[in-house]
Structure 1
Amino acid sequence: MRRGTRGAAYLVLGAAGAALLGWLVYAFTISVQGTSGQDRVFVVALAGVAVAVAGIVLLSPPVRDAEVAMARPLLGVELPAVRDRHSWDSRWHGAAWAGLVLVVGAVAAIVLLGGVPAGVGLASGGVGDGVQVLWRMPLGIAVVLGSFAIQAGFGGILVWAAPRVLGPTSADKLALAAEREQDLARSNQLARELHDTIGHSLTAISVQAEAGSVVGPTDSRVALRALERISATASAALEELDEVLGSLRSGGTGRTAADLAALVRSAATSGPSVLQLRGDWGRLPGELSGDVFRIVQEGLTNAVKHGSGPAQVRVAIGSEVEVKITNTTTQQPNSRAAGGRGLVGLRERAALAGGAVDAGPSASGKEWHLCVRLPNR
């Protein structure tokens, strides 16, 4: 009932608009009847201009935006923001809603202005006229109350019609779907960046903590160095996390060859990893250089998880960028190798860049390898 009442309040606008339109029609009609010759032609031309201006206003792009903004609080309906403003489909929807409000508002006003006086007349006719006409009073009261109750019904019509007339057009739905897809892509990108950054650092910290716990009880200097490396890695991870979030906000994800070399040097493998870079890194697009950096970062993390010993990192830049990372497969069970979404994120990143990923143990089972190819465009 509350929604109907709010709709009835919206009818005031329609009734006022219908009254103004009716008065203009009446005024032009009287003017045409009261003139002749050139004066009549002028009045008719003026009426034509008024109709044209009204049509232009009703079919203008901002109208549907304004109608949606008004319908939300006055009708209490949920309507998405207008994305499609300039197509004729959207414009006709806006004009159709204006016409519907005028018609429903006019009918509601006629019912109210006709029903209330009629009810009052019936009720007053039943006072002091004897028992024979006592039925007039309850009937008159019922007519008055019914006239007001019907207003809520007309308001309910507008509440029902608003999502169907002012709701999203086909172009709006496509735009909404595109926005959801962009939001999902941004969420996936954030997840990949955070996984690659934090996952790499946590893996390094785990390796250093294990080394310190194994040797530390017999050599305090080893434990102290492990703690120092853990502290440095954690601090670097926080700095890189801040850098990643800043890059995502600004849209810049480019990396330099020096960044890549520093990443390989800091890899938490049991020996120093080696980088072989062929081609001109400086000519890579910023986004592609960022993708290659993250791929190497995740590849080094997987090298620690699935293998042992230093990793060999080869990056070849030409018409495509090829990244190869290999290291010896561990023969011992590795608790860090279980689970994770690193390869899933790598494949998603490569697919978005138009590339492909091949990863896993070699045919001999003695090496773990990762090979990623990305088009350089």
Structure 2
Amino acid sequence: MLGAAGAALIGWLIYAFTISVQNTTGRDRVFVITLAGVAIAVAAIILLSPPVRDAEVAMARPLLGVSLPPVRDRHSWASRWRGAAWAGLVLVVGALAAVLLLAGVPAGVGLAVDGAEHPVQLLWRLPLGIALVLGSFAIQAVFGWLLAVSAPKVLGPTPADRLALAADRERALARSNELARELHDTIGHSLTAISVQAEAGYAVGLSDPQVAHRALERISATAAAALEELDSVLGSLRSGPRGRSAADLEGLVHAAATEEPSVLELIGDWDALPDSSSGEVFRIVQEGLTNAVKHGRGAARVRVSVRSDVSVTITNAVARQRNSRDREHRGIVGLRERMTLVGGTIEAGPTSDGREWKLCARLPTR
């Protein structure tokens, strides 16, 4: 219908300009021809403008029921020619559909009426007239199917569209991986602490209610901190990385649920770090302490040195002999991904004597 309306308008304009040229001479004819040229130029400019293909895709989806990806490449000539080609196809199909409908329905009705006036011819005129009328309407569905089949080929993505859509999917995947890392580092750390505190409270609390009471207090505080940390993570994913203060780092180390209080050694000017770097260091220490709680014993020793770059070293005694594959779980994998993204390096594994586990990370400050 839209194509038929557009074709009718164009046909009327062509007819009007043709009649005007035939009925004018001299300067008037030159003026009419110039006006026709301007009209053609304006139509070409409109059809080749960047928003045309965007609008056509938006209309084709609901009207034709086709699935078309969003237009990302609006300004290249490949995209503009696709928009103009689709407009031309719609005009041609709409014109054919209108001609067949406007010619077939009256012809069919005429055959049926003539058959009623001539009883001898009624047997073939009436069925033929009905078939012509129904066929004129049925052919419209064929034209609609033709447009639906052609839409993905004509309006489909250009090579630049495909590259942009692939980049969008890559960014979405990176965002998902970032969310997974953040949730693992924050919630995993808190759940590990809660688990250790619960086990200690259960083991000792039966004979010492005060120990159980203290364990429950720490579990409550850890859970509340985990909820606050979750809000912070989700907020940073929306608005950007959140910086961490030296007090945040000290609180993290001192709150670690290791058998003995963990120790922090902070060297250099922490406040000089940008938010992104301080946040990454915080996550590294958090994951290192989580591993120490899960697999180690005694206190964890944390050393953070802020110089031209930042180095983080976390050492703790292991509970039993372990090989490097025992500890290479999601947390370490996530830290390796973090270091790759920020241009840093990380090494984690047992010391040469096998008695301690050592994590060493180094990342730039900018």
Do 1:127 and 1:134's aligned partners in 2 also have CA atoms closer than 8 Å? no
For 2:147, the equivalent position in structure 1 comes to: 158
Aligned to 1:237: 226
Look up the equivalent residue of 1:376 and give its one-letter code: T
The more displaced of 110-119 and 97-106 is 110-119
Counterpart position of 1:77: 66
Deviation per residue, 1:43-100 (Å, 9 max, x gap)? 1111111111111111111111221222122112222222222222221111111111
Distance of 1:237 and 1:116 partners within structure 2: 73
**In the alignment, what sits opposite 2:292?**
303
* Counterparts of 1:178 and 1:218, CA distance in 2: 60
Partner of 2:241, secondary structure, is coil
Deviates more, 1:124-133 or 1:143-152: 124-133
**AA paired with 1:110?**
V
Say whether 1:185 aligns with 2:193: no
* In structure 1, C-alpha distance between the alignment counterparts of 2:328 and 2:271, rounded to whole Å: 36
- Deviation digits for residues 102-130 of structure 1 (CA, Å, limit 9, x no counterpart): 00001111112222233233333333435
SS of residue in 1 equivalent to 2:187? helix
- Of residues 35-44 and 79-88 in structure 1, the stretch that sits farther from structure 2 once superposed is 79-88
Number of the residue aligned with 2:17: 28
Three-state SS of the structure 1 residue aligned to 2:211 is helix
Alignment partner of 2:360 out of 340, 348, 371: 371
Q: Which residue number in structure 2 is paired with residue 221 of structure 1?
A: 210
C-alpha distance after superposition, 1:325-354 (max 9, x if no partner) = 111111399xxx889521121122122212
C-alpha separation in 2, matches of 1:14 and 1:305: 69
1:244 Cα offset (Å)? 1.9
What is the 5 A alignment of 1:301-340? 301-331=290-320
Offset from partner CA, 1:256-279 (integer Å, 9 cap, x none): 122112211111111121122223
Alignment partners' CA distance in 1, 2:233 and 2:161:
33
Between 1 and 2, higher relative CO (CA 8 Å, sep ≥ 6) is seen in 1
Question: Hey, what does 1:39 align to over in structure 2?
Answer: 28
Give the % identical residues: 73
Question: 2:263 maps to what in 1?
Answer: 274
In the alignment, structure 2 segments of 5+ residues that lack a partner are none
Within 2, Cα distance between the matches of 1:215 and 1:140? 96
Alignment check: 8 A CA contact 1:101 1:158 kept = yes
Corresponding position of 2:275: 286
Work out whether residues 77 and 159 of structure 1, in 8 Å CA contact, stay in contact via their aligned partners in 2: yes
1:58 match = 47
TM-score, normalising length: structure 2:
0.93
C-alpha RMSD over aligned residues: 2.0
Residue 356 of structure 1 and its aligned partner are, at CA, apart by: 2.6
18-27 or 55-64, larger mean C-alpha shift: 55-64
> Structure 1 residues 124-133 or 239-248, which shifts more?
124-133
Of 215, 219, 241, the match for 1:252: 241
Aligned length: 363
TM score, norm. by length of structure 1: 0.90
Verify the 8 A CA contact 2:321 2:355 in the aligned structure 1.
Answer: no
Residue in 1 that maps onto 2:162: 173
Q: Is the 1:265–1:274 Cα contact (8 Å) retained in structure 2? A: yes
Structure 2 counterpart of 1:89, from 78, 95, 102 = 78
Q: Secondary structure at the match of 1:253?
A: coil
**Partner of 2:260: helix, strand, or coil?**
coil
SS in 1 for 2:116: coil
Q: How far apart are the structure 2 equivalents of 1:370 and 1:103?
A: 70
Work out the CA distance in 1 between the residues paired with 2:292 and 2:192. Answer: 10
Q: Report the alpha carbon displacement of residue 318 of structure 1 after superposing the two structures with TM.
A: 3.0
Moved more, 234-243 or 296-305: 234-243
1:105 to 94, 113, 116: 94
Match of 1:6 in 2: none
* Structure 1 stretch displaced more, 269-278 or 291-300: 269-278
- 1: CA distance between counterparts of 2:32 and 2:191? 82
Q: Which moved more, 1:248-257 or 1:31-40?
A: 248-257
Moved more, 240-249 or 32-41: 240-249
Q: Distance in 2 between matches of 1:63 and 1:325?
A: 59
In 2, Cα distance between equivalents of 1:332 and 1:75: 66
Find the residue that maps to 2:314 and give its secondary structure: strand
Question: Which residue of the partner structure matches residue 7 of structure 1?
Answer: none
Partner of 1:193, secondary structure, is helix
For the residues of structure 1 that align with 2:33 and 2:96, how far apart are their CA atoms?
28
Give 1:132 deviation, angstroms: 5.9
Give SS of 1:134's match.
Answer: helix
Task: In structure 1, give the amino acid aligned to 2:236.
Answer: S
Of 95-104 and 117-126, the range deviating more from structure 2: 117-126
Look up the match of 1:200: 189
Q: Which moved more, 1:224-233 or 1:122-131?
A: 122-131
